[in-house]
Amino acid sequence: MAERFIIHVDMDAFFAAVEQRDNPALRGKPVIVGADPKNGKGRGVVSTCSYEARKFGVRSAMPISEAWRRCPQGVFVTPDFSAYSAASEIIHKIFYDFTPDIEPISIDEAFLDITNSYKLFGSPLEVCRLIKTRIKAETGLTASVGLAPTKMAAKIASDLKKPDGLVEVREGGIREFLCPLDIGRIWGLGPRTADILRERGIHTIGRLAETSAAELHRLLGKHGPELRELALGHDEREVLAEGEAKSVGNEYTFETDTSDEREISEALLALCDKVSSRLRMEGVKGRTITLKIRLEGFLTFTRAASMGFATNYTDVIHDRILKLYGEFNVCAGAGAPQEGKRGGRKVRLLGVKVSGLMPAGVSESLFEEETDKKLEGMHKAVEAIRAKFGRGAIYRAGGKKQV
């Protein structure tokens, strides 16, 4: 097999960097982008923070109240997604000047496969340098880049010399590159799995690679041998073109942790309605419905169900979400939640996501049910009202007006 050349581009502290670019007074200061900290009593989390803020132990996804306690002198900024989206659009246009094989991971990172295009620009490493230079010149922002034969190695490489880093891993050097690194760097290895491995003395990727597949299967089930293959440097995952690996979802954080089933029900319906609207705006529908629940104490669970057909209808999504929530919401007393059980704890956050997407116009049946025609007509009427008067002009009975 010919050597692959995969790039992972990761923007440096993206949201905070845009804020510092647009407001020179913020440069050199600990900028924290996220929810209102409300003097340490705010809810929500840190979206991202500048490298100056990271020196105080602030990090992405940290509760905003904790960020305030660690860095009360920080500059707390409400996210400006329009500015971030504008910068991201410029960056993605730059990518397409080098290859059509691009897999966006988020607004600030992407994989690029340049195996078939790098010779137009020189060497693979030269492509990386050109991309970094173009991003800096056209947006004023810096990016860290990893170049490797596999997606996982490229992703790890991009993170090793932040900010403004560039790390190359060649075909024959993947094992040597991975061996000394902490197991937590493996893409797809979560904190719980890492804890299980560390308890057995497995702290590095090299040690994981040396562990037998049978032992890892005993510890972790079928996921164990798969992780060993990654530790050995075996990663055949392809860069998926934009749109192939897509999902649509929304989350809602309650102002106060709640066990009020009516409040939870209203939020779930509003989330399903919002996801449905976004699916329809993007002209897609999906087969897999996922529910995310975060309980007090930040314990987070997800439950998913795949259907035999794709949908973008609120009612269908809502029906599956209610079933998933009902299955999860089995109280087991006031103790810590068991796997899949709420344990009497209050709910902090809810999320709804639809994945396994396809174009909305693709028919999966020779016959169109009369019910589908009615649902389609209803959704179009709602969309027309919202387009004219705003999203809050019409919402479903039993749901929150906005989430």
- Confidence class for position 296, pLDDT limits 50, 70, 90: confident
Confidence (pLDDT) at 361: 73
CB-neighbour burial class of residue 307 (10 A; exposed 0-12, middle 13-18, buried 19+): middle
Average of per-residue pLDDT across 313-322: 94
Q: Where in the chain is the domain with CATH 3.30.1490.100?
A: 247-393
Note the pTM of the prediction, 2 decimals.
Answer: 0.65
Confidence (pLDDT) at 114: 95
- pLDDT averaged over every residue in the chain: 86
User: With the CA atoms of 117, 120, 121 and 122 taken in that order, what torsion angle do they form, in degrees rounded to the nearest 10?
Assistant: 100
Distance CA 220, CA 204 (A): 17
User: Which of 8, 47, 13, 39 lies closest to 27 in space, CA to CA?
Assistant: 13
**% of the chain residues with pLDDT over 70:** 84
Phi, psi for residue 387 in degrees, rounded to 5: -65, -30
Average of per-residue pLDDT across 245-252: 82
For the chain, how big is the Rg over CA atoms in Å?
Answer: 23
Distance CA 125, CA 157 (A): 13
- Confidence class for position 335, pLDDT limits 50, 70, 90: very low
Q: What is the pLDDT of residues 338-391, one digit of tens each?
A: 444 566 789 999 999 998 788 787 654 433 444 455 555 555 555 555 454 554
Q: End-to-end alpha-carbon separation of the chain, Å?
A: 49
296 is catalytic: no
Architecture of domain 247-393 in CATH?
2-Layer Sandwich (3.30)
pLDDT of 398 over the 80 cut: no
- Helix, strand or coil, per DSSP, at residue 166: strand
The token pair that represents 365 in the structure block? 């049946």
* 244 in Cβ contact with 353 (< 8 Å): no
Domain 179-231 part of CATH 1.10.150.20: yes
Catalytic residue (one of 103, 109, 168, 266) = 109
Q: Where in the chain is the domain with CATH 1.10.150.20?
A: 179-231
Confidence (pLDDT) at 403: 64
